[in-house]
């Protein structure tokens, strides 16, 4: 009897999967221990049973007949697989029907049912007796629906917590069965290039013997047993190694077996992953463009390399690396359970310790989602550490709402009183001519200029260029390859080595992308006014590598004699931009004086003096996240999320304007599949708000074309050659009528 058209026998495949299941379970002793503690069952036994029986339905005569015919095609060198595609029989359903007399646990049954991602409302029709021509298929589907609906009261106040506990019991066996089957199948696939499967590596980190622990690092160790550790320390205090020391304590204390670090943006994830990778056994990186950032170069070398890089990338997505650095959006999206792999991601998160870095970076909309994530970590005993340089005291209310008790902010006070910078001017301006004196000063010394919007950053760049000055412009509208080059340029100009060698020079013009992702410094800074927590992050790039007092000049953008706070506020067509409370309070409280880290913490607490209720939109969205988890805890929804997506049709991780992708390169021909298109998108695409794309279409900088993806046609947007450059990025307002200008 065959299991694969390539000739792998059913007996061999079942033995291979059972062997891989043992490898997976043995590599995760903490998982077995915690599963026994929380679910009350023998994890190894459950996974072994599911692996042993997952494919026995392939012995069905109809399935065997089709597989044997495909095997003949394979041996003849023909295209194969068509007979199995038309057989009309789901072998996992056949497995469950044949196993009805065996006393299998419900988690084992679910693992068998889901191991090909068909336990889904999208595939409900496949479970009808008439569709698969097997009596008992509909009864199985009905039993899974009853289990999904009746395991707990979905309308109860604590439904989310109950769903988390029920999900844990089922998702572990489900995920490990798929993992074992996937790994065994790869190694059996003799006709495919590369049979590499990643090793399961333990978390290994040793604090360098030649170093002395800094105060923030000692705090991380001293309070490592707190379920939720809030750590406040100035920028440059050593928080990265504090996080690794804290994680080591969790793992040595049998509270976790791996580390997950959630960052605010893809760019901060990239920077931290590079930094951490030098210190630990292995670091995975996952976000929507991580494939291009980390894997695409090696993948292009050969088919074997491509396979290997995809396996490592998948390991990171599943949080299987000893350390995984990802965006917060990846974890929030996993709670929707809108994709099969998200069951595994949530299960693996339960065995991690979680660091949320730059915890104050998020607006109320995302914070409301994070509150639900913290409910999940508390319910499932996941140790959490939140780090920030500007965590307000009022944020304690958020963590109390998530159910944590007696939470305190642990603060590194060792260097709080030293003067960090002096605000030398606060000046409103509508036109750049009004700050000409400051711009002239920036030409005489290394300078960082922060603009609140991409448009203003471009305007500043063009003004300097017109004066034969060549600054480096860095914002979010560059392709990934150019972002990497920009960061290298900035480090060469203003990084630690440049200062050490007395070679620091030049002007960097940055938007929010440069607040926490690039490790550069100057002693002279110009920054548009922004909320104080964002300003503290910007000041973290002022005199970063020494103890000298930096000079900060704050400029307040205005328009039509009113403050122009974009993007820190709300926009109305009738009234224009209205500043959010944090922006307005920062404007009122900021003074011309010298500031220490303690002064900034005090100012943050005055601006965020109370934790207000989340806006209704944020609360409704976060409640929907709970409901998605409750509804999808066992059976996937009809509308499943694609791998690169981080929102559903109704729920969003962040409240940002609807985005579209603009491509900076015309594709060659059509794409064989969606994955190939995604690779092209990650390499050459830039996300911008829809209203900007519409403006680009109207002025000719963007056009729409049709491309083919497999058998489908799709409209995509292409930027004209003049609209994109390495120097400026995507500029949809380029002067197209006077290109010589």
Domains of the chain: 10-188 (1.10.3210), 215-411 (3.40.50.300), 419-607 (3.40.50.300), 657-738 (no CATH)
Mean pLDDT in residue range 206-212: 89
Structure tokens at 671: 């794409």
Q: Where would I find the beta strands (DSSP E) of 475-632?
A: 507-510, 524-528, 550-559, 562-563, 569-572, 576-579, 594-596
Give dist(CA 513, CA 545) in Å, integer: 20
Mean pLDDT in residue range 473-497: 93
Give dist(CA 138, CA 144) in Å, integer: 10
pLDDT digits (tens, 9 = 90+) for 574-587: 888 899 999 999 99
Structure tokens at 74: 């394979």
The whole-number pLDDT of residue 193 equals: 59
Terminal CA-to-CA distance of the chain, rounded, Å?
Answer: 73
Structure tokens at 681: 């998108």
Give dist(CA 228, CA 318) in Å, integer: 23
422 HSE (CA, 13 A, CB side): 7
**Residue for token digits 């790994």?**
183
Answer whether 408's CB lies under 8 Å from 230's CB: yes
Evaluate the omega torsion of the peptide bond into residue 567 and state whether it is cis, within 30 degrees of 0. yes
pLDDT at 738 over 50: no
| Percent of the chain topping pLDDT 90 | 77
- Residue 92: pLDDT band (50, 70, 90) is very high
How far CA 260 is from CA of 191, 269, 484, 550, 709, in Å, comes to: 36, 11, 23, 34, 35
Mean pLDDT in residue range 623-643: 94
Give dist(CA 211, CA 214) in Å, integer: 9
The whole-number pLDDT of residue 739 equals: 38
The whole-number pLDDT of residue 735 equals: 52
The whole-number pLDDT of residue 734 equals: 61
pLDDT digits (tens, 9 = 90+) for 656-678: 877 899 999 999 878 988 878 88
The whole-number pLDDT of residue 191 equals: 58
Does the reported pTM lie above 0.85? yes
Q: Greater confidence, 364 or 428?
A: 428
Hey, is 23 helix, strand or coil? helix
Give dist(CA 276, CA 266) in Å, integer: 15
Q: Which region, left, alpha or beta, applies to residue 573 given φ > 0 means left and ψ of -120 to 50 means alpha?
A: alpha
Structure tokens at 51: 């692996």
Phi, psi of 261 (to 5 degrees): -115, 120
Mean pLDDT in residue range 15-42: 98
pLDDT at 223 over 50: yes
Hey, is 641 helix, strand or coil? coil
The whole-number pLDDT of residue 736 equals: 43
Q: Greater confidence, 85 or 517?
A: 85
Mean of pLDDT over the chain? 92
């Amino acid at each position: 009897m065959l299991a694969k058209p390539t000739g792998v026998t059913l007996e061999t495949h079942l033995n291979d999967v059972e062997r891989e299941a043992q490898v997976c379970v043995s590599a995760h002793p903490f998982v077995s221990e915690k599963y026994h503690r929380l679910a009350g069952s023998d994890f190894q036994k459950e996974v072994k049973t599911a692996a042993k029986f997952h494919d026995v339905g392939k012995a069905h005569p109809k399935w065997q007949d089709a597989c044997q015919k495909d095997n003949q095609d394979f041996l003849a060198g023909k295209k194969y697989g068509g007979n199995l595609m038309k057989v009309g029989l789901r072998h996992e359903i056949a497995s469950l029907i044949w196993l009805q007399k065996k006393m299998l646990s419900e988690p084992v049954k679910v693992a068998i049912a889901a191991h090909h991602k068909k336990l889904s409302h999208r595939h409900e029709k496949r479970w009808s007796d008439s569709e698969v021509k097997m009596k008992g298929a509909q009864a199985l589907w009905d039993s899974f629906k009853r289990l999904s609906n009746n395991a707990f009261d979905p309308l109860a106040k604590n439904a989310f917590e109950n769903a988390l506990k029920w999900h844990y019991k089922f998702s572990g066996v489900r995920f490990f069965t798929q993992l074992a089957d996937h790994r065994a199948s790869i190694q059996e696939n003799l006709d495919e290039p590369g049979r590499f499967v990643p090793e399961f590596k333990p978390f290994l980190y040793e604090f360098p013997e030649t170093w002395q622990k800094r105060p923030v690092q000692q705090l991380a160790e001293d309070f490592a047993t707190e379920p939720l550790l809030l750590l406040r320390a100035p920028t440059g205090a050593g928080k990265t190694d504090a996080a690794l020391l804290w994680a080591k304590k969790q793992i040595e204390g049998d509270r976790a077996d791996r580390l997950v670090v959630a960052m605010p943006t893809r760019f901060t994830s990239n920077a931290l992953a590079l930094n951490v990778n030098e210190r630990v056994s292995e670091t995975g990186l996952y976000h929507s463009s991580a494939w291009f950032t980390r894997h695409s170069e090696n993948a292009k070398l050969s088919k074997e390399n491509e396979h290997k890089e995809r396996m490592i990338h998948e390991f990171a997505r599943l949080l299987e690396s000893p350390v995984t650095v990802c965006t917060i959006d990846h974890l929030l999206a996993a709670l929707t359970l809108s994709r099969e792999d998200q069951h595994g991601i949530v299960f693996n998160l339960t065995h991690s310790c979680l660091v949320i870095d730059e915890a104050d970076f998020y607006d109320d909309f995302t914070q409301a989602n994070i509150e639900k994530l913290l409910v999940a970590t508390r319910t499932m005993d996941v140790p959490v550490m939140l780090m920030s340089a500007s965590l307000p005291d009022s944020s304690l209310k958020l963590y109390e709402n998530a159910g944590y008790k007696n939470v305190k902010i642990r603060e590194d006070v060792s260097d709080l009183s030293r003067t960090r910078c002096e605000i030398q001017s606060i000046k409103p301006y509508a036109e750049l001519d009004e700050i000409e004196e400051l711009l002239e000063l920036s030409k005489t010394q290394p300078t960082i200029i922060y603009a609140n919007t991409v448009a203003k950053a471009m305007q500043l760049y063009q003004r300097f260029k017109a004066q034969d000055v060549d600054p480096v412009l860095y914002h979010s509208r560059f392709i990934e390859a150019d972002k990497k080059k920009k960061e290298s340029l900035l480090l060469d100009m203003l990084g630690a080595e440049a200062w050490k060698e007395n070679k620091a020079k030049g002007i960097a013009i940055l938007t929010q992308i440069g607040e926490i992702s690039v490790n550069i410094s100057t002693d002279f800074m110009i920054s548009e006014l922004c909320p104080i927590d964002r300003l503290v992050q910007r000041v973290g790039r002022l005199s970063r590598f020494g103890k000298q007092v930096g000079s900060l000049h704050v400029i307040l953008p205005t328009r039509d004699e009113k403050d122009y706070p974009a993007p820190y506020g709300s926009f109305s067509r009738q009234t224009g931009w209205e500043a959010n409370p944090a922006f307005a309070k920062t404007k009122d409280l900021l003074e011309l004086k010298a500031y220490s880290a303690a002064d900034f913490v005090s100012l943050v607490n005055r601006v965020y003096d109370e934790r207000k209720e989340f806006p209704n939109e944020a609360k409704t969205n976060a409640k929907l996240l709970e409901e998605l988890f409750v509804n999808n805890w066992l059976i996937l929804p009809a509308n499943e999320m694609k791998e690169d997506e981080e929102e559903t049709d109704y729920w969003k991780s962040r409240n940002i304007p609807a985005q579209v992708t603009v491509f900076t390169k015309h594709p060659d021909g059509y794409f064989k599949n969606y994955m190939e298109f995604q690779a092209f998108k990650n390499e050459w695409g830039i996300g911008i708000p829809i209203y900007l794309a519409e403006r680009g279409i109207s002025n000719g900088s963007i056009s729409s074309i049709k491309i083919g993806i497999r058998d489908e046609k799709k409209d995509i947007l292409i930027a004209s050659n003049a609209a994109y450059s390495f120097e400026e990025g995507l500029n949809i307002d380029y002067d197209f009528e006077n290109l010589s200008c």
